[in-house]
């Protein structure tokens, strides 16, 4: 443990305010649960290598979702196989009987192995429990608790307490659909229904579901359910692995999509937000639905150019549902506590920017946040160039002719590890009253963009040289008004350990 917490986290590309494992490989966030003042984060981890391999659950704990304390490995492969993705819950009523009438944490996850008779790969669901606030875990002797031999891909159970029905509910990926189960005790599971074979995107295998209810526009009397589904990589799809969501209703047994089956809602329009799921048991008086995703893409996840570790997570985000002309949609914004890392370096108000001007000239920063409210005054394009030097830049901008926000990482730095990495992508945003809000977080190897009220998020890895620290705001083909803009350096969450 001491070793874990005395690492310097100062390597090339090492994220300074995003979570990354101390060493070796990480993919999906797992088992996120809040319990007795702590946010737990487990994650898919291969402790023997910086490429994917036999999966364990790594572990970290935070009190504010910003600063993380590294903990030893929580779950290791056993006779039932390696430990794939899953969730964790607080068993408040000791429904499992693991806690002698008290409370504790139960993890529900997939174990991956092969059938000793047929040699075929199989995925079955198991439990582990912790009586000491997640520090040590015991595998349940009755594992596995849920199997379905019809599916080779049967994984990533997300479990929550269904208050109205007084029982546990599970959403689990089963090949090309999501299956729903219920249980009184987390051990015995009853199949209820399945969803999605003909709905949404099927560009890849379905993985890592999450299912939760949110008020619409903050109105507790109007609530809808959100079903998040990640879809795996497909060699024919340049965007690689991505995360979609559905909005609808759930009656304890069945999820019904309120949109057309062929409409697809993306959680994030960047390339690097996968397997995103939410925390369970966030107290009711807090009420936030908190999401975190893996900041990578199966297309090149095993090749990204880091040495000591590989993999990082997005900033934790608060999810809300908003109604609009197109329907009810998720909006997301980073957790507020990030402000505790801010050191403001420039504030602008009521400034007009003409083509060729750079109001951020002279500023240099590696890790930063920019928040801006901009007035579109006829310019064709506006944007920020971050992590800039003569040869490198990452551009985050808005193209007024198409009404789209874009991230262009085609000259962002190292990209030769995969032919598809150097790219530009974009997504629609509705601009109201000629004003556009943008918020950017730039770390040593990522850029996260939130546009409008958070209705558009774009998350992308970048691998710039350490010396590429220039900053620019530009207007093209006309003027832009800066109503307000604030540029802050973001301090390292690891610097206290250095």
Binding mask 158-197 for ligand FRU (x = CB under 6 A): ----------------------------------------
Residue partners of 418: CB distance under 8 A and separation at least 6: 299, 300, 303
Nearer to ligand FRU, 231 or 395 (CB): 231
244-283: contacts with ligand FRU (CB under 6 A): 275
**Judged by CB under 6 A, does residue 314 bind ligand FRU?**
no
Q: How far apart are CA 49 and CA 25, in angstroms?
A: 6
Nearest CA to 55 among 32, 24, 76?
Answer: 76
CB of 449 to ligand FRU, least distance (A): 23
325-354: contacts with ligand FRU (CB under 6 A): none
Nearer to ligand FRU, 155 or 387 (CB): 155
Which one of 28, 268, 366, 455 is in contact with ligand FRU (CB under 6 A)?
Answer: 28
111-150: contacts with ligand FRU (CB under 6 A): none
Asked if residue 329 lies in contact with residue 453, where contact means CB atoms within 8 angstroms, the answer is: no
Nearer to ligand FRU, 228 or 353 (CB): 228
Nearer to ligand FRU, 27 or 183 (CB): 27
CB of 46 to ligand FRU, least distance (A): 9
Q: Which residue has the tokens 């939760």?
A: 212
35-74: contacts with ligand FRU (CB under 6 A): 44, 55
Which one of 18, 68, 156, 313 is in contact with ligand FRU (CB under 6 A)?
Answer: 156
Q: Which residue has the tokens 């659909």?
A: 177
Asked if residue 196 lies in contact with residue 232, where contact means CB atoms within 8 angstroms, the answer is: no
Residue partners of 245: CB distance under 8 A and separation at least 6: 226, 227, 228, 229, 265, 266, 267, 330
Nearer to ligand FRU, 114 or 495 (CB): 114
Which one of 70, 95, 110, 304 is in contact with ligand FRU (CB under 6 A)?
Answer: 110
Q: Residue 79, preceding bond cis, omega within 30 degrees? A: no
CA dihedral 72, 73, 75, 80 (to 10 degrees): -140
Beta-sheet strand order (sheet of 470-476): 424-428, 404-411, 393-399, 381-388, 470-476
Asked if residue 112 lies in contact with residue 120, where contact means CB atoms within 8 angstroms, the answer is: no
Longest alpha-carbon distance in the chain: 72
Handedness of CA 203, 208, 211, 212 (dihedral sign): negative
Alpha helices in 124-214 (DSSP H): none
Q: How far apart are CA 478 and CA 350, in angstroms?
A: 16
CB of 278 to ligand FRU, least distance (A): 16
CB of 2 to ligand FRU, least distance (A): 28
- Residues classed as catalytic: 28
Which one of 91, 162, 199, 207 is in contact with ligand FRU (CB under 6 A)?
Answer: 207
Binding mask 391-430 for ligand FRU (x = CB under 6 A): ----------------------------------------
CB of 486 to ligand FRU, least distance (A): 35
Asked if residue 180 lies in contact with residue 192, where contact means CB atoms within 8 angstroms, the answer is: yes
Residue partners of 2: CB distance under 8 A and separation at least 6: none
**Judged by CB under 6 A, does residue 27 bind ligand FRU?**
yes
**Judged by CB under 6 A, does residue 84 bind ligand FRU?**
yes
Asked if residue 468 lies in contact with residue 388, where contact means CB atoms within 8 angstroms, the answer is: yes
CB of 173 to ligand FRU, least distance (A): 7
Query: What burial letters (b/e) apply to 394-409, b meaning 16+ CB within 10 Å?
Result: bbbbbebeeebbbbbb
Binding mask 214-243 for ligand FRU (x = CB under 6 A): ------------------------------
Nearer to ligand FRU, 237 or 479 (CB): 237
Nearer to ligand FRU, 27 or 328 (CB): 27
Which one of 50, 70, 85, 244 is in contact with ligand FRU (CB under 6 A)?
Answer: 85
CA dihedral 247, 251, 253, 258 (to 10 degrees): -30
**Count of residues engaged in binding ligand FRU, rule: CB under 6 A:** 12
Residue partners of 411: CB distance under 8 A and separation at least 6: 391, 392, 393, 394, 422
CB of 156 to ligand FRU, least distance (A): 5
CB of 409 to ligand FRU, least distance (A): 22
CB of 109 to ligand FRU, least distance (A): 8
Rule CB under 6 A: which residues touch ligand FRU?
A: 27-28, 44, 55, 84-85, 110, 155-156, 207-208, 275
């Amino acid at each position: 443990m001491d070793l874990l917490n005395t690492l310097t986290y100062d390597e090339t590309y090492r994220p300074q305010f995003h979570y990354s494992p101390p060493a070796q490989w990480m993919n999906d966030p797992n088992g996120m649960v809040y319990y007795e003042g702590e946010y737990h984060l487990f994650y898919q981890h291969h402790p023997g290598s910086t490429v994917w391999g036999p999966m364990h659950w790594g572990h970290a704990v935070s009190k504010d979702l910003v600063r993380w304390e590294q903990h030893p490995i929580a779950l290791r492969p056993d006779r039932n196989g390696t430990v794939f993705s899953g969730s964790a819950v607080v068993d408040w009523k000791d429904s499992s009987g693991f806690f002698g009438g008290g409370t504790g944490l139960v993890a529900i996850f997939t174990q991956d192995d092969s059938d000793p008779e047929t040699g075929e790969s199989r995925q079955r669901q198991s439990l582990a429990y912790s009586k000491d606030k997640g520090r040590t875990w015991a595998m349940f002797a009755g594992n596995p608790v849920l199997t379905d031999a019809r599916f080779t891909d049967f994984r990533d159970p997300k479990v929550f307490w269904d208050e109205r029905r007084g029982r546990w509910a599970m959403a689990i990926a089963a090949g090309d659909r999501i299956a729903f189960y219920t249980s009184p005790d987390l051990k015995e599971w009853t199949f209820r229904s399945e969803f999605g074979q003909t709905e949404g995107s099927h560009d890849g295998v379905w993985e890592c579901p999450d299912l939760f209810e949110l008020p619409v526009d903050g109105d507790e009397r109007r609530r809808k359910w959100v079903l998040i589904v990640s879809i795996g990589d497909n060699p024919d799809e340049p965007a690689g692995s991505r995360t979609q969501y559905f909005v609808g209703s759930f009656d304890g047994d069945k999820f019904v999509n309120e949109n057309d089956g062929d409409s697809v809602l993306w959680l994030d329009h960047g390339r690097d937000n996968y397997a995103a799921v939410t925390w369970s048991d966030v107290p009711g008086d807090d009420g936030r639905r908190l999401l975190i995703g893996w900041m990578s893409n199966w297309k090149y996840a095993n090749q990204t150019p880091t040495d000591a570790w590989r993999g990082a997570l997005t900033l934790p985000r608060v999810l809300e549902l908003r109604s609009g002309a197109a329907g009810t949609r998720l909006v997301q914004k980073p957790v507020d506590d990030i402000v505790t890392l801010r050191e403001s370096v420039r504030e602008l108000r009521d400034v007009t920017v003409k083509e060729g001007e750079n109001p951020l000239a002279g500023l240099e920063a590696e890790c930063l946040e920019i928040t801006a409210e901009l007035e579109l005054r006829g310019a064709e394009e506006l944007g920020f160039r971050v992590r800039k030097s003569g040869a490198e830049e990452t551009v985050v901008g808005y193209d007024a002719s198409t009404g789209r926000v874009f991230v262009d990482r085609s000259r962002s730095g190292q990209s030769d590890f995969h032919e598809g990495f150097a790219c530009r992508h974009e997504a629609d945003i509705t601009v109201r009253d000629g004003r556009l809000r943008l918020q950017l977080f730039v770390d040593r190897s990522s850029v996260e963009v939130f546009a409008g009220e958070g209705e558009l998020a774009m998350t992308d890895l970048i691998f710039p040289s350490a010396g590429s620290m220039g900053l620019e705001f530009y207007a093209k083909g006309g003027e832009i008004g800066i109503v307000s803009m604030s540029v802050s350096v973001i301090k390292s969450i690891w610097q206290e350990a250095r």
